Amino acid sequence: MSIKSWNRLWDKWDLRGVIILSLALQALLILSAPLRKRTNRGFVLFPLWLAYLLADTVAIFAIGLISKSRLCPTVDLSVDNENLLTFWAPFLLVHLGGPDTITAFALEDNQLWLRHLLQLLSQSVTAAYVFFLSLSNSDLWLPTLLMFVAGLIKYSERTRSLYLASSRRFRESLLTEPDPGPNYAKLMDEYFSKKSANLPTYIKFTGEPVSKPKTADQPDTKALEDIDVIKNAHRFFETFKGLIADLIFSFRERNQSREFFLNRNPKNAFKVVEVELNFFYEILYSKILVIQGRIGYCLRFISFSSFVASFVVFDSKEKKKLHPTDIRITYALFIGGIALDILAFLMLILSDWTAIALTKSKDPSLIIKFLQKLLCVKRQRWVENTSEPYPFRLKLVLPLLRRRWSECISQYNLIDYCLRPRSKNKEKFIDLLGLTNILDELKYVGRERFHARLRNFIFNELRLKSEMAEDLETAKEICLARGDWVLRTEGCSELLPYVLEVNYDESLILWHIATELLYSTDKAEHENESRKNAKLLSDYMLYLLIMQQTMLSPVAGIGEIRFRDTCAEAKIFFQRRKIGEKERDKGRKESSVNPRSCANIFRCFNKCCCEEKGLDEHERACKTILDVKTEAKPIQVKGDRSKSVLFDGSILAKELMKLGEKEGDKRDKWKIISKVWVELLSYGACNCRPTAHAAQLSKGGQLITHVWLLMAHLGLGEQFQINEGHARAKLIVEK
């Protein structure tokens, strides 16, 4: 086939193929976009990111092709077909409006609302111009006009959603009316005038006293109904959505929230936080703010009615002169668009927002009661027991579809990273391509389920601290603690230098090394729950420090430099002690035999190619580090040029091993270590920027974000700075 033939084929079918691709991308986005908040897997998020970027590009490209075909018609197209192509332009405006489930892929996309506004104007003008050119000799002007109305509404919805979710507009929407307070000048004039008249006068501040939250002796262990969870989550969302904008709150709001969460069990508390974060996700990344309300419903009704009316009018037209393929593509656009709109409507009426709207009234009407039963508002929304007699595939899919976040915590281990290094040449090549972080994520990052055991432990620790934080000063002191509060209360003052005399990032790496050394060598307490909790939190915090640097950047300092220096020392140490040599030799052998072999490729995707040997090597590495004599501090021997803390972590591990060894010493080292990790996690959560927490909601969520919001609800934070908003001064004259 000659080049001219290929060019002729492309000129004839390029637009048709691009339009079908645009429709397919819309279907993919509306079905798959909700998965973003439920998983943090790269193989799910990457196709979604690609589809999100391609959707706009493909639609704009198609509109350009249509305008080109009208200005420079080709010999291969008949006049009727050209008019039909003009009819397709409004469909592309609908596609540019995007599905309801995704307006922004990342938080930064909301800041580009001006670009989308300009794009809305330019593409609408282009579509209108193409329509104007074909108005005189087209029988499809009425369905085209109806589709143009639908497309304009859809694209306007998306642009307004991005505008409302932009940081500046979102913050402004939460600000209340300016409060100048009492008239100070007038009050003082009256005060001194009465004083000068020798009248006994004083100023008194009036206002309701701040009530303390009522704390039950035992938390309410009764499980909340799913609808009650949603209602409470929405109530706190409306109160605390200013957290994302870094606003402040009153003690009244603190006490109301604190009273509720102090009297909940861990399961119910985390459920409420999950749903509340889900509300945050939807107002930042979807069209929910624009759709909700009377105006939104009216515009959506007009848009859908125009779509259906255009379909009816088009179906009644004479289409004998049109190409059968073009007619099929047009029907696909109609049927696909209507189906996607119906699907979006079903998602809306089955969402938590509809449940809230239908349960607001204390005395609902008969229509509301009917809708409540029809939509099963009080249905179960969580998978409590996956052992039900479902098919195996359904057991795997149901939790993914019904959970509110990924429900897993990522794991990154320093010793494991040092035992399985890449060769220097490979590292340079990967770094040159800019793929280091991506491949490190695949090779070195593992994932563990967020177990109920860990959930209960974290909540009970935060609940205990909240009960002690009656006043703001105590709450701030607890939030600033990064292990020292626990060590003082547990009587471990000898360990305080490892948290107070080091930076936060150094403290994380120190305690991570110490935890790993003890975990790998202390097999006697294999079933100790505190040991497991400490291990999970240790690897998770190192993952945040190294792989999610934006989360801990305000307090991370030189964490990456310290980590690299520590890894460099560990790799040299392992090479000299010939630890991990078999693994390195095996990798070199596989690379030399067939560098493109499947075995070599999949080594980057999992850690189980040599699981048993890797585990032995890991234990031996930890034991060898502990066996090194550490009578002198490393800084006295090496100086401070290298920021490595490998053997400082070993010294800390040896100090922790002494806990509970003496007779009468009842301190449990694993209990103390796990509590220190909760405090380090809490410190990182409080000091992480709110925008960083919000950014993670579209990537499966993070445990640290749930802890951050839970701490705010428990009154542990610096957001509460208003004593009483309605307190006022009053001038009193004694008689």
Q: Using a pLDDT cut of 70, give the percent of the chain over it.
A: 83
Q: Where are the alpha helices (DSSP H) in 72-140?
A: 79-97, 113-133
* 599 against 616, higher pLDDT: 616
Cα–Cα distances in angstroms (integers) from residue 328 to residues 69, 241, 540, in the given order: 20, 47, 53
Q: How many CB atoms lie within 10 A of CB 179?
A: 7
CB-CB contact of 518 with 653 (8 Å): yes
Does residue 350 have a pLDDT over 60?
Answer: yes
Instruction: Kindly report, residue by residue over 236-264, the tens digit of the pLDDT.
Output: 999 999 999 888 888 888 899 999 999 99
Q: Which residue ranges make up each domain of the chain?
A: 3-173+292-348, 408-450+481-688
Cα–Cα distances in angstroms (integers) from residue 509 to residues 486, 515, 520, 544, 620, in the given order: 18, 10, 16, 12, 20
pLDDT of residue 145: 92
pLDDT of residue 5: 66
pLDDT of residue 234: 95
Cα–Cα distances in angstroms (integers) from residue 534 to residues 35, 458, 539, 580, 612, in the given order: 30, 11, 9, 25, 23
As a whole number, the mean pLDDT across the chain is 84
Confidence of residue 631 (pLDDT cuts 50, 70, 90): confident
CA atoms of 105 and 276, how far apart (whole Å): 20
SS3 sequence, 508-572?
HHHHHHHHHHHHHHCCCCCCCHHHHHHHHHHHHHHHHHHHCHHHHHHHHCCHHHHHHHHHHHHHH
Which residue shows structure tokens 């005060």? 191
Does residue 607 have a pLDDT over 50?
Answer: no
Confidence of residue 585 (pLDDT cuts 50, 70, 90): low
Does residue 707 have a pLDDT over 90?
Answer: yes
Angle between helices 452-468 and 251-262 (to 10 degrees): 130
CA atoms of 244 and 709, how far apart (whole Å): 10
CA atoms of 338 and 110, how far apart (whole Å): 27
Q: What angle do CA 556, 557, 560 make, to 5 degrees?
A: 75
Does residue 720 have a pLDDT over 70?
Answer: yes
Q: What is the DSSP string of 606-646?
A: -S-TTHHHHHHHHHHHHHHHHHS--SS-HHHHH-SSS---H
Confidence of residue 183 (pLDDT cuts 50, 70, 90): confident
pLDDT of residue 13: 73
Report the Cα 364 to chain-centroid distance in Å: 35
Which residue shows structure tokens 């009704």? 301
CA atoms of 315 and 320, how far apart (whole Å): 12
Does residue 221 have a pLDDT over 90?
Answer: no
Least confident of 376-380, 391-395, 561-565, 631-635: 391-395
Report the Cα 591 to chain-centroid distance in Å: 38
Does residue 551 have a pLDDT over 80?
Answer: yes
